[in-house]
Amino acid sequence: MANVVVVGSQWGDEGKGKIVDWLSQRADVVVRFQGGHNAGHTLVVDGVSYKTALIPSGVVRGGKLSVIGNGVVVDPHHFVEELAKLRGQGLDISPENLKIADNATLILALHRELDALRENSNSGLKIGTTKRGIGPAYEDRVGRRAIRVIDLAEKDTLKDKIERLLSHHNALRRGMGMAELTVEAIYEELMEVADQILPYVDKVWEVLDRARRSGNRILFEGAQGALLDNDHGTYPFVTSSNVVAGQAAAGSGLGPNAIDFVLGITKAYTTRVGEGPFPTELFDEIGDYLGKIGNEWGVNTGRKRRCGWFDAVIVRQMVKVCGIKGIALTKLDVLDGLEEIKICVGYELDGQTIDFLPASMGAQARVTPVYETMEGWSETTAGARSWSELPAQAVKYVRHIEELIGAPVSLLSTSPEREDTIMVHDPFQD
């Protein structure tokens, strides 16, 4: 049986939550490998809606081991709150079926404060962060001053580590006109939740290696989308971690030879939350229509998503960067009823036609889309569970997307409901 990595092939919000939930029935272990609680997933199971942001989507299914890998930055207070909320909905979650990597980095209140202050500043570049402290926490990890999950178990040395952290942050806070923090205040913040988190802490790299050697099927769950990757996305309008499929190995502690299939979750049109370039963004009634019919509002932030036509250029690029073998195409039903549908097949940049998204921030802002126009369909695709139930023109649209991006459709999602999914190829049977 194959191990599968799920990544978003656009700017996030592609519908990963439902697809991960759908695949989890075939998996034994579900692993989050990057990001934090800045990327929400909505799962609809038997008419009940579950919202997760930090805890892997696999917790909604019994008999699965869910793992928060070392590549994730963990807000301990949010973890406790999300855990309580999911349990309150009747889910059975315990240290037996949920693990947190002992070497994962913690998000503190000071990270959230710094994130918000930077984003709200009248000077500098606005990135459109969720102000949840994700970026500053990753900065501290790279700067080798972070507080990690395992530090909660070593109370005798924790204050020394906090002091090292504050030697950096208090200097920043003085320069930004913020009150300095004390070691005792941070220590108390952590002790409030330490005993509620420590039972879930484990050597995740060892847990996953044991699962792999036992023949368990592992599903690696990414947050956000590959175009928000810190290296390969629309920099600097990106997230603070690597989102691409290669991060699944580094962010979990398993070697790359454990990855067999990369599934790219791909929306049938394009959306983006926050700032940054968006070549196919629509500012007309079609854009409003896509947002309304697609319910394009952020799960965590409540922010309205920007909407536009499908961009084959960026998806094709992420297919190559992530090694995507197949895509799960979502929200096809949102396009139902449109007389015509456009697909971006290239860009014009300074008088030249190009077939890639350039790395330059200035060039990304200047590109304009080159469109192909296809006939739409009047029939509904919502709830279809076989190709024969789809309108012929909808099938033609899907097939053309496959040609343009260089990857086949493995799964086709036709509604938020888990069972409204057409499987062409089971990734776990690769």
Place of tokens 């579950």: 50
CB 10 within 8 A of CB 193: no
CB 3 within 8 A of CB 261: yes
CA-CA distance, 19 to 57, in Å (whole number)? 10
Answer yes or no: 430 catalytic. Answer: no
Per-residue 3-state assignment (H helix, E strand, C coil) for 112-133: HHHHHHHHHCCCCCCCCCCCCC
Query: Position 114: which residue type?
Result: L
Of 37, 41, 78, 169, the active-site residue reads 41
Provide the CA 1 distance to its chain's centre, in angstroms.
25
Answer yes or no: 13 catalytic. Answer: yes
Per-residue 3-state assignment (H helix, E strand, C coil) for the chain: CCCEEEEECCCCCCCHHHHHHHHHCCCCEEEECCECCCCCEEEEECCEEEEECCCCHHHHCCCCEEEECCCEEECHHHHHHHHHHHHHCCCCCCCCCEEEECCCEECCHHHHHHHHHHHHCCCCCCCCCCCCCHHHHHHHHHCCCCCEHHHHHCHHHHHHHHHHHHHHHHHHHHHCCCCCCCHHHHHHHHHHHHHHHHHHEECHHHHHHHHHHCCCCEEEECCCCHHHCCCCCCCCCCCCCCCCCCHHHHCCCCCHHHCCEEEEEEECCEEECCCCCCCCECCCHHHHHHHHHCCCECCCCCCECEEECEEHHHHHHHHHHHCCCEEEEECHHHHCCCCEEEEEEEEEECCEEECCCCCCHHHHHHCEEEEEEEECCCCCCCCCCCHHHCCHHHHHHHHHHHHHHCCCEEEEECCCECCCEEECCCHHHC
CB 190 within 8 A of CB 147: yes
Of 13, 102, 229, 420, the active-site residue reads 13
Comparing C-alpha atoms, which of 322, 130, 150 is closest to residue 222?
322
Which residues carry out catalysis?
Answer: 13, 41
